[in-house]
Amino acid sequence: MVRRGLLLLEKLLKQLDRKVAIILEELNVPYETKLMDFSELKQDPFESINPNGRVPAIEDPNTGMKLWESGAIIEYLLETYDKEGKLSYAKGPEKWDTKAWLHFQTSGQGQSQSYLPYKRIGEERRPNR
């Protein structure tokens, strides 16, 4: 099946964006990245994709889907492009176990670890705030 490449809107070297890129790579889904500047995030046209004005976000020309929130993007990619079950399970306890790990990562571990480097270098606030 010939697929058109997805557009991944991200900021360079951010772990949330890399997480989405890793899924795309593992599933052999073609994509290109568009690196966003902070100044572009809190206004249109980006806010028409993500009203919360944050990356990552994707645009999928194969389905017309535009999506934000890394966890939702990952679930979408798995359901749409992992028909062979390479990274996901269609049913059974494994399906719910992997969802538990995904929610654990996005709701807790992901957010807290993104602050760790800034704590280590002694900054009170993230430089991008």
Ligand X SMILES: N[C@@H](CCC(=O)N[C@@H](CS)C(=O)NCC(=O)O)C(=O)O
- Per DSSP, 44 falls in state T
Of 7, 41, 49, 87, the residue at the interface with ligand X (CB under 6 A) is: 41
Instruction: Check: CB of residue 38 under 8 Å from CB of residue 27.
Output: no
Verify binding: residue 58, ligand X, rule CB under 6 A. no
Judge residue 73's burial from the number of C-beta atoms within 10 Å of its C-beta, 0-12 exposed, 13-18 middle, 19 or more buried: buried
Exposed, middle or buried, 91 (CB in 10 Å: 0-12/13-18/19+)? exposed
Pick from 9, 24, 70, 77 the residue near ligand X by CB under 6 A: 70
Closest among 23, 35, 50, 47 to 105, alpha carbons compared:
23
Only one of the segments 21-29, 65-73, 77-85, 92-100 lies at the binding site for ligand X (rule: CB under 6 A); that segment is 65-73
Please identify, among the stretches 10-18, 79-87, 91-99, 116-124, the one whose residues bind ligand X according to the rule CB under 6 A. Answer: 10-18
78 backbone dihedrals φ, ψ, rounded to 5°? -65, -45
Q: Which stretch binds ligand X (CB under 6 A): 9-17, 25-33, 76-84, 95-103?
A: 9-17
What is the closest distance, in whole angstroms, from the C-beta atom of residue 49 to ligand X in the complex? 12
Binding mask 78-117 for ligand X (x = CB under 6 A): ----------------------------x-----------
